[in-house]
Chain A
Amino acid sequence: MSDYYEHDDLKKFAEIGKDAPELAQKFFDYYGAVFAEGELSAREKALIALAVAHTVQCPYCIDAYTTSCLEKGSNLGEMTEAVHVANAIRGGASLVHGIQMRKLAEKVSL
């Protein structure tokens, strides 16, 4: 696993701009705008990002948004609850498909 995920690679994210600088610039400009203070505070956005990071299971994002949440003033209770929200949606998404399973099973069952 360590061959694929190196902690220091996060610091090299900007290198993705090599060979496609215009696309990278558009992405990073958009990214910066998304996380700026808006109708949602920067702290709230970092909490959402933390939850999504767990959903997409991106170790770089988990690393970045754990620190970001702490530095923006969220506490561990709030951060843990955010992960539970991600987990509930993921679990709920699986479970609600059980209805499909039951419908299919009922259709072919006596």
Chain B
Amino acid sequence: MKDTLHNRFEQRLAKEEISLLRATTQILQVNTGLLCDLKCRHCHLSAGPGRQEIMSQATMQQMIDYATRNRFTTIDITGGAPELIPHLDQLLTGLAPLTSHLILRTNLTALSQPDKKPLLDLLVKLKVILVASFPSTNEGQLAAQRGEGVMDPSLKMLKQLNKLGYGIENSGLELNLAANPSGAFMPTAQEAAERKFKRDLARKWDLHFNNLFIFANMPLGRFADWLHQTGNFTSYMEKLQAGFNPCTLDGLMCRTLVSVAWDGFVYDCDFNQAANIPLGGKPVHISELEGLPERGTAIAVGEHCFACTAGSGFT
């Protein structure tokens, strides 16, 4: 089945006479593991409580070594919930001097745990850019996506971040929000959604942030399970395929990114991690990778790639 699906995206590229090739790699994405305090229904990695797959201290050091050997304008730390991974502070401290944009993805609830105060202080000190998951300003929809009782701690954490200066103009501390559609439908246009989120968050809770990033839901992991269980898979895939926009290909993040999984293996993007499609078609460990992936080499693709190329795309 995977081959058929895999071929469908490739066939579409062939029909459009397009090749999806790597450009100059500028972004290093580090997935610290699948452990998370939440069990979001849209999670393409099926992250959650009890997951054992987390990045070791040795792999963290290999990440720092790799980022030292190469120049990345952005380093993006994601999970799961990176805040729950032991020695995250060492990874942050090691990577911060090596890039001008160090990003940490947060689900807000993990960051709000009582023992995370030193981590918060470190984030401020290193001026780490935060990208916080906040998919809806509607409590019911947010709960349906991320679980009951998530709204309140998320709002409290955003308030605390604002107090620290995050999301406040001229503070030098950047707070961005990330939102996914709360179901099997296409995401909102980013600019319009950002205006509305800014207005709603300020009006309802006096909360502030810098940018909103809208991501399409990936038909992988727990979200794919949900699509199948609810009979939405076929219609969702049809919608993604119908929305295929060749203009998105130039700006796709996979062209300029190298994504490293919790165990140190290398992928073209986080979604290929979930689909287990390694960079270059065969497993390569970060310790074996001296330089950047070569410009002009083919990017591994699967049917999920339709989610990044639908509508205005996923850059």
Binding site for B on A (CB under 8 A): 41-43, 67, 70-73, 75-78
Contact = CB atoms under 8 A, between A and B. Distances in A.
Contacts, number: 33
Interface string B169-197: 00000000000011101111100110010
A76 B185 CA distance: 14
Contacts of A43: 188, 192, 196
Contact of A67 (B140, B185, B189, B196): B185
Nearest to A70: B185
A72 B182 CA distance: 12
Contacts of B182: 70
Nearest to B139: A77
Say what secondary structure dominates the interface of chain A. Answer: helix
A72 B188 contact: yes
B136 interface: yes
Contact of A75 (B137, B186, B192): B137
Interface size class of B (residues with CB under 8 A): 10 to 19
A71 B193 contact: no
B140 A77 contact: yes
B4 interface: no
Nearest to B179: A73
B140 A71 contact: no
Contact of A41 (B137, B140, B185, B192): B192
Say what secondary structure dominates the interface of chain B. Answer: loop
A42 B195 CA distance: 13
B77 to A, nearest CB: 28
Given A43-B192, A43-B196, A75 B138 contact: yes
Interface string B78-122: 000000000000000000000000000000000000000000000
B192 A76 contact: no
B167 to A, nearest CB: 20
Contacts of B140: 76-77
**CB-based closest 7 A-B pairs:** A75-B138, A73-B188, A73-B193, A71-B186, A77-B138, A70-B185, A71-B185
A76 B187 CA distance: 15
B185 A75 contact: no
Nearest to A42: B192
B141 interface: yes
Given A43-B196, A71-B187, 7 more contacts: A42-B192, A67-B185, A70-B182, A70-B185, A71-B185, A75-B137, A76-B140
Contacts of B187: 71
